[in-house]
Amino acid sequence: MSHRTFTITHENLLDVLTNTIAVGNRLVAPVRRGKKLFFRDVQEVQSIVFDFIQSDESPKDLVFPRVEPMLAHEYNAGNVYLIDFAEKLQPLPTILFGTRPCDAVALSLLIEFFNEGVGDPFVEQRAENLTIISIACTRADSYCFCTSVGVSPNDSRGSDVLLTPIDNDQYYGIVLTEKGNAFVKKGGDNFIPSEPKDVAQYIVTLREEFTPQEITQRLANAFNHPLWMDASLRCIGCGTCTYVCPLCSCFDIQDEGTQTKGVRLRCWDSCGFSLFTLHTSGHNPRHIQSERWRQRVMHKFSYIPQNRNLLGCVGCGRCSRLCPADMNLKEHLCTITKEMTEVKADR
């Protein structure tokens, strides 16, 4: 399909969104809750926030909710009956509006991860019903480092429609997928067809601090480097970085209720918690925080690249922005690329 391009005014865009809700779609967009910015179901398009660098929560919970019931059971007179939630699931058609391109990339990678191998009916069905309208970045802060991990501020991967704010309160848009096409079609006249434009001037430029290849190479034998311990001394071992990360996908499976009646839930989990890997025998393969911090970094920048030929990070910077101890991932990666020139392979 050839990419359709268009322009739309801010006002018309709001109209389109209002209409989306009116026809029964679920609209999810960035809104403020106190000082924080979240992706939430929106009823009033006026509440949508356009002027922000990055939301505080990633939109990953649209495909991978923080709690997902997978199964219910009931015991009755010696028999057990199961209810498969995957069979019952009927996700609403959802428009995810206003994501940053990095989040859209992340979502696509997340969906890909869950779908490969045995697959995951929950993520799959939610993803099928999700249309992602992202807005390219015109601003960035020092936490952002998408360009260093192979993502650009106007990356089109993962998005169904990519908007770029241009002059006069207008957006220049590219329709990237069939789902995007459907969205634009419904918007009718509000979208004014346009010739493909070079909008690079509007996009923020972000210095490339390092390259993915660099970081992966450096990490290849950095496992025993003392940097891990030094850099993670201030890490307090909470799960913030993993929970706000658009790509972190580790989860826990928990049963609730009683043996007579209950549900089996899938909940987010974090490799930062000491219990994550604790065996019932008391043995813990990663028993100190530096090992867990190393696992997070290695997993994203060394293990995933080894398996999937891509990084497990899109450089959105949330983990660093929200870290209570100011563990700055970008800074850390810079240190790795600069300082880990000489590493001993102990084993």
Footprint of another protein on residues 1-60 (CB under 8 A)?
A: 33-36, 38, 56-57
Q: Is the dihedral of CA 331, 333, 334, 338 positive or negative?
A: positive
Stretch that binds another protein, among 145-153, 155-163, 197-205, 279-287 (CB under 8 A): 279-287
- With residue 149 as reference, give the H or E element that holds it: none
Strand partners, 26: 94
DSSP, collapsed to helix, strand or coil, labels residue 294 as: helix
CA distance 276 to 271: 6
If residue 191 lies in a helix (H) or strand (E), which one and from where to where?
Answer: none
147 or 249: CB nearest another protein: 249
Contact with another protein (CB under 8 A) among 65, 93, 150, 212? 65
Residue in the structure block whose two tokens are 């995810």: 96
Report, in Å, the least distance between residue 346 CB and another protein: 10
Query: Is there binding between residue 275 and another protein (CB under 8 A)?
Result: yes
Q: CA-to-CA distance for 190 and 187, rounded, in angstroms?
A: 6
Using CB under 8 A, pick the residue from 15, 112, 214, 331 that binds another protein. 331
Rounded to a whole number of angstroms, the distance between the first and last alpha carbons of the chain is 51
Q: Which is nearer to another protein, 278 or 310 (CB)?
A: 278
- Structure tokens that stand for 77 in this block: 């007179």
Q: Are 27 and 21 in contact (CB under 8 A)?
A: yes
* Shortest distance, position 339 Cβ to another protein, whole Å: 16
Q: Which stretch binds another protein (CB under 8 A): 129-137, 159-167, 211-219, 324-332?
A: 324-332
| Cα(100)–Cα(106) distance, integer angstroms | 10
Closer of 58 and 156 to another protein (Cβ): 58
> Radius of gyration (Cα) for the chain, nearest Å?
22
Q: Which of 237, 310, 335, 340 binds another protein (CB under 8 A)?
A: 237
**23: helix, coil or strand?**
coil
Closest to 114 measured CA to CA, from 102, 125, 123, 106: 123
Please answer whether residues 132 and 62 qualify as being in contact, where contact means their C-beta atoms are separated by less than 8 angstroms. no
Which alpha helices (DSSP H) does 82-177 contain, by range? Answer: 85-88, 101-115, 121-128
Could you say which of 11, 208, 255, 339 contacts another protein (CB under 8 A)?
Answer: 255
Q: Specify the stretch interacting with another protein by CB under 8 A; choose among 131-139, 173-181, 234-242, 336-344.
A: 234-242
Residue 88: count other Cβ atoms within 10 Å of its Cβ: 9
Q: Which of residues 80-109 bind another protein (CB under 8 A)?
A: 80, 82, 84-92
Q: Decide: is 226 part of the binding site for another protein (CB under 8 A).
A: no
Amino acid at 170: Q
The nearest distance, CB 61 to another protein, in angstroms, is: 4
Contact with another protein (CB under 8 A) among 43, 75, 197, 213: 75
The correct pick among 8, 265, 314, 336 for binding another protein (CB under 8 A) is 265
Binding track over 170-209 against another protein, x by CB under 8 A: ----------------------------------------
Q: How far is the CB of 132 from another protein (least distance, A)?
A: 16
Which one of residues 14, 19, 273, 335 is an interface residue with another protein (CB under 8 A)?
273
Q: What angle do CA 42, 319, 292 make, to 5 degrees?
A: 130
- Contact between 212 and another protein per CB under 8 A: no
* Minimum distance, C-beta of residue 245 to another protein, in the bound complex (Å): 11
Site for another protein in 111-170 (CB under 8 A): 113-115, 117-122, 124-125, 141-143
Among 69, 93, 150, 212, binds another protein (CB under 8 A): 69
Amino acid letter, 256: E
| For another protein, the closer CB: 8 or 215 | 215
